[in-house]
Chains A and B, each alone.
Chain A
Amino acid sequence: MQELIVRAKELLEKGEVARVLGWKKGEQEYDAEPAFFETAESLDNFVYNGFCGANLSKYMIEAGKKEGKTLVFLKPCDSYSYNQLLREHRVDREKAYIIGVGCKGKLAISKIPFDGILKVSGAQYPDAQEILTVETLYGTETIPYKDAMLERCHVCKGKDHVVYDELLGESADTVDADRFAEVERIEKMSPEEKFAYFQSELSKCIRCNACRNVCPACSCRKCVFDSTAFDSEQKANTTSFEEKMFHIIRAFHVAGRCTDCGECSRVCPQGIPLHLFNRKFIKDINALYGEYQAGSDLECPAPLTSFTTTDAEPGVGRG
């Protein structure tokens, strides 16, 4: 972490960047949140640890409107999101100085199964064997770092950054699960079971829009669900259907653009596994139109804005 701060200060002081986009300490170590730092002094509040899961790429849309360059720290998976935004002309590469920062898997406080958590230590420099020590109201507990990792880190896209100006820190391979296993499990259910599963998950949705607000692909200036474009604006007396429509349409709008960064599930206050919508589309796209990783390439045709004359027919393969 210290080397990041040193380098950021250096770039700020040299005037090469006008501000730094990173993570700020919260009250607790696990409260780290995205923040802009305008001065060298303010960087004292900078933090980079296992709880810095937040993907900073989307903030670069706003940063690009400001004067001067913004230094941004991107983890390998975040760099895919940035690249996708670049492809869609939403960010200005000229106004970004990207430090690709190492990552050895990020943590989810929700994955630490203890009540009354006061403090978590051991999240600084994780290694595979690292154990987290958790102080709770009821005593001290431990949990392997790996077990507290975000779902997305178990299916990590890899250690490489797809876009950067310089690299700092090491990354680790944290893959230990099959990315599509959960989607496949659901696909194998009967329609009744599928319906029951999603009904129970989506019934938790409070339409707080956190998923939409955090999603780097959901970056419309004006969301269709907030506009009159389809007469679909969120209304006070929103029907139960609208939640469903919202999640299906949201997934559809980001299909072929979603990098599977998992932020939607990370921020959902209700713990809905929202990534399962996006990942279903990714799985279908890979199977039907060839392997595709959004954000990995600026040029190759995107699955929903291209076609072949021999594409599968809708509904083929249904019972």
Chain B
Amino acid sequence: MRRIGVFVCHCGSNIAATVDVKKVVEMALQEQGVVHAEDYPYMCSEAGQVRIAEAIREHQLTGMVVCSCSPRMHEATFRKCAERNGLNPYLVEIANIREHCSWIHKDMAEATEKAVILMRAAVAKVHLNAPLQAGESAVTKRALVIGGGIAGIQTALDIADAGYKVDIVEKEPSIGGRMSQLDKTFPTLDCSACILTPKMVEAASHENITIHTWSEVEKVSGFVGNFTVDIRKKARYVDMDKCTGCGVCQEKCPSKKSLNEFNRGLNTRSAIYTPFAQAIPNVPVIDATACIKLKTGKCGICEKFCQVGAINYAQTDEIITEQYGAIVVATGFDTIKLDKYGEYAYGHSKDVITSLELERIMNAAGPTKGHLERLSDGKAPKEIVFIQCVGSRCSDDRGKPYCSKICCMYTAKHAMLIRDKYPDTNVTVFYIDVRTPGKNFDEFYRRAVEDYGVNYIKGQVGKVAPQPDGSLLVHGVDLLENKQILKKADMVVLATAIEPNADVRKIATMLTASIDTNNFLTEAHPKLRPVESPTAGVFLSGVCQGPKDIPETVAQAGAAAVKVIGLLAKDKLKTNPCTAKADELRCNGCSQCANVCPYGAISYETRLVNDHGIREDRRIAVVNSALCQGCGACTVTCPSGAMDLQGFSNRQLIAEVDAICR
């Protein structure tokens, strides 16, 4: 019989205001095997842990239940406390009477009754808990960063500076990401390229960093400390070692009608191209869908003009397999598609553009060489209307429910830059709210209004109607004046919502990392573990976790790097001891369990078994506990119940069921 101690936490008033903790203690003492029960305002505090330590010693506890907050909060705390005091950490169970009880129930009697039942279930389980020992696994001292935007670059640089090898996988031909497409950055108006390209160069020249551009992650297996990743290196058709980046091939290429992705499709590029001048690596790729040689076999002009013989039309995709100890997701974002927003005439009028397109128009390397002009007729716009929250903060399924966070600031930036450079152009901004929480952000916005005369109108736009004369008629409302507004504009700029990169769901699935309904990756804890995925060894950097601006992205990238460094600094990791185990006397050797194991952790061996005096050779399942991650799929496939999961055994779960239903 176990000697169980029950510790009931008040969590200040978080629990005690709704659950009668004294009653829980009183009821605990009536449970079989419970030799000690007490309550305390903060069990997780130093003083609370001292009380637990004393109780373990005084009552020679062989099991304990803490009725407190979620095990996701303090299970580790209490397990460590038990371990320090000579009790195996796996003899500790948590009854979650805060998140699952006191916080969601109002009636004290009802909540107390439920807390008692949750306590009983935990006591029933702990009766059957076995002391478990964590195993150890080695750590591969190399990290993978998926995505080579500012988030991925910063994470890689920080990891590399700490002395660890790191690989960046970027699907585009160059690293740089969204930031490389921006013209200026708020709130300081630095030139984006001027602050980004030194980082790109640093990453490319860092001895610890390997960059795989034009590459994608194909397959991930393994677990924290020991990931195996297949990377597809897409055919570039250009030899990276030979190419000098002279650019002659791009000049001579006769196929020049492909939409330039880097300029958001606002102009065209050649079939062989580098996305932008500062690209890293400065080695072009051939777009196989546009290249005449690859499509028809004729042409070959680039090959003729390449003085170093770098063109290789026979190149094919290559899959490389690498080992990593940690993986950082930095897959970034894109703007949403606007096909559900017909009222803004995006796609009907060339002069209705997204803010990211405006970035390219205002950039010297962009389609208009940095001149602000209408894409329809090349004229300088005299009236520009900005529409905020296009697809953000949206209550229907056309857009996104969240605030994209960066739009208020970049719109203020755009408005200010236009008023500065083109003082005779009027700028009007339609907004729902202007949100400027950030260092020097509100000051920046006020400068736009007060110093640059940008006309902010609180209200939404219902329609943008292209007029026969080429202008755009904006139908809006002014909520403060409570009136309809009809405004003639030469250009309309949509602050389009951002969303996680389309590939992130595929990557999350490969990494078994949690993802939310908006395709943002989920943190291990929204406040306390914001850069870790719940999947051990997977970290989050940048907008893949949630909307953020550049300084926040860089800060988070650094934080993710620190977590990676902390992991790679360890030689060994403790493994989860809650793994599956087969009972040789019950096992039929039928192989069904191996069929459902996602880790290939189950094999079979024939060995001599002594089944109550019957000695015979039997085929028995054997679990490799280093590979087993403890999902339990095998346990349900096993008809005889031979396969069981330590820490979540059949009898433990049945005991919990019984305790709840009794």
Q: Which residues of B contact A89 (CB under 8 A)?
A: 589-591, 604, 619
Known: A220-B586, A227-B586, A231-B654. A306 touches B595 (CB 8 A): yes
B residues 562-609 near A (Cβ < 8 Å) are: 583, 585-592, 595-596, 604
In the complex, the answer to whether A221 meets B586 with C-beta atoms within 8 Å is yes
Give the complex CA separation of A230 and B643 in angstroms: 12
Known: A230-B654, A305-B595. A224 touches B590 (CB 8 A): no
Question: Does A168 sit within 8 A of B, measured CB to CB?
Answer: no
In the complex, the answer to whether B588 meets A305 with C-beta atoms within 8 Å is no
Please tell me the number of chain B residues within 8 Å of chain A, measured between CB atoms.
Answer: 25
Known: A89-B589, A219-B588. A224 touches B651 (CB 8 A): no
A residues 145-175 near B (Cβ < 8 Å) are: none
Give the complex CA separation of A82 and B637 in angstroms: 21
Question: Does B481 sit within 8 A of A, measured CB to CB?
Answer: no
Q: Which residues of B contact A222 (CB under 8 A)?
A: 585-586, 640, 642
Q: Which residues of B contact A232 (CB under 8 A)?
A: 654
Give the complex CA separation of A12 and B297 in angstroms: 72
Q: Which residues of A contact B161 (CB under 8 A)?
A: none
Give the complex CA separation of A219 and B595 in angstroms: 19
CB of A223 to closest CB in B, whole Å = 7
Question: Does A204 sit within 8 A of B, measured CB to CB?
Answer: no
Give the complex CA separation of A223 and B595 in angstroms: 21
- What DSSP secondary structure best describes chain A's contact surface? loop
Give the complex CA separation of A230 and B639 in angstroms: 11
Give the complex CA separation of A227 and B588 in angstroms: 14
Question: Does B616 sit within 8 A of A, measured CB to CB?
Answer: yes
CB of A57 to closest CB in B, whole Å = 15
CB of A239 to closest CB in B, whole Å = 13
Give the complex CA separation of A228 and B583 in angstroms: 12
Question: Does B644 sit within 8 A of A, measured CB to CB?
Answer: yes
Known: A222-B586, A231-B651, A231-B654. A305 touches B592 (CB 8 A): yes
In the complex, the answer to whether B650 meets A220 with C-beta atoms within 8 Å is no
Question: Does A280 sit within 8 A of B, measured CB to CB?
Answer: no
Q: Which residues of A contact B587 (CB under 8 A)?
A: 221
A residues 206-245 near B (Cβ < 8 Å) are: 219-224, 227-232
**Complex: chain B residue closest to A307, CB-CB:** B596
Give the complex CA separation of A230 and B649 in angstroms: 9
A residues 176-232 near B (Cβ < 8 Å) are: 219-224, 227-232
Question: Does B641 sit within 8 A of A, measured CB to CB?
Answer: yes
Give the complex CA separation of A305 and B593 in angstroms: 8
Question: Does A304 sit within 8 A of B, measured CB to CB?
Answer: yes
Contact of B639 among A224, A302, A306 (CB under 8 A): A224
Contact of A221 among B611, B637, B644, B655 (CB under 8 A): B611
Contact of B651 among A90, A229, A253, A306 (CB under 8 A): A229
**Complex: chain B residue closest to A61, CB-CB:** B588
Counting contact residues on chain A (CB < 8 A from B), the size range is 20 to 34
In the complex, the answer to whether A88 meets B590 with C-beta atoms within 8 Å is yes
In the complex, the answer to whether B639 meets A220 with C-beta atoms within 8 Å is yes
In the complex, the answer to whether B639 meets A253 with C-beta atoms within 8 Å is yes
Question: Does A65 sit within 8 A of B, measured CB to CB?
Answer: yes
Give the complex CA separation of A224 and B639 in angstroms: 7
In the complex, the answer to whether B644 meets A229 with C-beta atoms within 8 Å is yes
**Complex: chain A residue closest to B619, CB-CB:** A89
A residues 234-260 near B (Cβ < 8 Å) are: 253-254
In the complex, the answer to whether A230 meets B641 with C-beta atoms within 8 Å is yes
Contacts A88-B589, A90-B590 given; 18 further ones with Cβ under 8 A? Answer: A65-B616, A88-B590, A88-B591, A219-B588, A220-B586, A221-B587, A221-B640, A222-B585, A223-B640, A227-B640, A229-B644, A229-B650, A230-B641, A231-B654, A301-B595, A302-B592, A302-B595, A305-B637
- What are the 7 closest A-B residue pairs judged by CB atoms, nearest first? A229-B641, A253-B639, A305-B595, A88-B590, A220-B640, A224-B641, A222-B586
